[in-house]
Structure 1
Amino acid sequence: MATWRGRDRLAVGLAVVAPFIVSTMLVPLRDRIENTDVALLLVVVVVAVAGFGNRPAGYLAALSAGVWFDFYFTEPYQRLTIGDGSDVETFVLLMVVGIAVTELAVWGRRQGATAHREAGYLAGIQAAAEVGATGGSSQDLIKQVSGRLVDVLHLEGARYQPGVAGFGGPARLCRDGRILWKGHVWDVDHDGLPAETDIELLVENAGRLHGRYLLSAVPDTSAPLSERRVAVTLADQVGASLGRS
C-alpha cells in the first residue's frame, strides 16, 4: 500500500526509543556487566522490533542500538567515539547481527503471511465448491463469491451482472491472471490494480458466458498473480454452478 499502517509507524517509533530506554536502564550496571552482554541484550530489542514491525524498523533499531551502545558503553563515555579495538568489533557485530535478525524476522513474517493467505484462498474455493456440490442456490454462491473476491483482491467492492457480454469500457481480468485495459497489459506488480475503472471478471462455463463480476479496486492495491488466479477460480465455481442450473 502507498501509506504505512499504524503498526509500522509504531514499530519505527519503537526502533528509535526502545534501544535508548534499555541502554539507559543498563548504565548503572556498566561496571558490573561485560559489553558483549549489553550487546546481546540490545540484539534482543532489535529482534523484538523487527518481529513486530518491518524491515525499515528493524534496520533503524539496529542503528539506534549501535549508537547508544557506543554512547553509553564504550570509552570515552557519552561520546560517539570508540577507543578500544574489542569494542569496535562488538559494535560492528551488533550492527551485523541486528541487520541479519531483521532479515530473518521479515522473512518469517512473509512466510507466515503467505501461508495464512493461501489457507484462506483454499478455504474460499472449498466453500464455493461445496455450495455447488450440495445443490445450494446459485444466487447464494454468487453473493458468497462476491465477498470472497473482495477479501482475496482487497477490493472496495464486487458486484455481479448476469448475461452481460462484457464489451468495451472496463479493464478485464483474464484467465491467466493478466489484466488488459485499453488494448494493453496492465502492470499490476508495479502499478497495483487499476482503480480508475472497474475490472471485469467473466463468469463462463463450457464456452457459454453467464455474466461478469465488476470489481472496484482501491488505489495502490497490490494483487500478486496468485491472488488474481484465485479470483478466476472462484468465478469458475460460479460458472459451473450456473451451467448446471
Structure 2
Amino acid sequence: MVSIRGLKKSFGEHEVLKGIDLDIEPGQLICFIGRSGCGKSTLLRTLNGLEVLDEGEIEIAGHSLSRKSKTDPLDDKFEKKAQALRKHCGMVFQDFRLFPHMSLLENVVLAQTVGQKIPRDEAIAKSEALLGKVGLQAHKDKMPLQLSGGQSQRGAIARALALSPAVMLYDEPTSALDPELVDEVLSVMKALDQEGMTQLAVTHEMRFARDASDYVVYMEEGSIVEIGAPDVLFSSPKDDRTRQFLRKFL
C-alpha cells in the first residue's frame, strides 16, 4: 500500500504540490499525466525522498514519514525515517544514470554490494537473473556507451529491481528514447505489472497509460484533478480540464 495524505511541497514562493491525497493498492500500475510543470515529477521525487516534503504524510510498505509544517526540524530521527522509506522505492529516471566506467553487470551489482551490503557472489547471481529478466543477459559485459537508449533504460530498471523495492517509481522513463525504442521499456513495465509489482509512472505516453495502467491520475497546477480507470478517463473524462488536455492526444 502507498498512502499519501495532505502532501505539500514548495520551492521558494512557488507551491508545487498543494495537498495531494492518494491511496494505491499493492500490484497496481498508476500513470500520472498532465502538462509539464504540474507537479508530477516532484510528487515522485518527494515519495522517494529526493525532495523533502513540507507538510503531509507518506506511507510505503508500512513505513511512514510526516511533517506538520515546513518549520518542523529535519533532525536525525526524520532522516532515519526518510532512509527507511527510501529503501522500499526503486527509482528510474529519464536519463538512465548508469555509471559510464562500469559494465552493465557491475552497475547492477554495485547497487546491492554498496547499498545493501550483499555478498558479491550473491549480488552477481541476482544481477544476472535480473538482466535476463529484462532481456539483457547477452549485454551484461558491455559498457553503457555501447548500449542503445532502450537497453540502458532496461538496465536502469534491473538496477532498481536489484534492491527488492516494494514500489517502482518511473520519472518519464521513455522521454529520452527514440520512438522505436520506447516499446522495449514499456514491455518490461507491463511484465512487472503482470508479476504484481506496484508501479507509479510519470509519462507522456498516452497509449501506454491507456492500455497498461490500472488507474490514470491527471494533475494540473500541483493538484489532482481527476482519477479514473483508463477506459473511462480517456473516453469520457468528467472534468473540463482533463478533456482539454486529452483533446490533443485523442
Q: TM-score, normalised by structure 2?
A: 0.24
Q: Give 1 or 2: higher helix fraction.
A: 1
Q: TM-score, normalised by structure 1?
A: 0.24
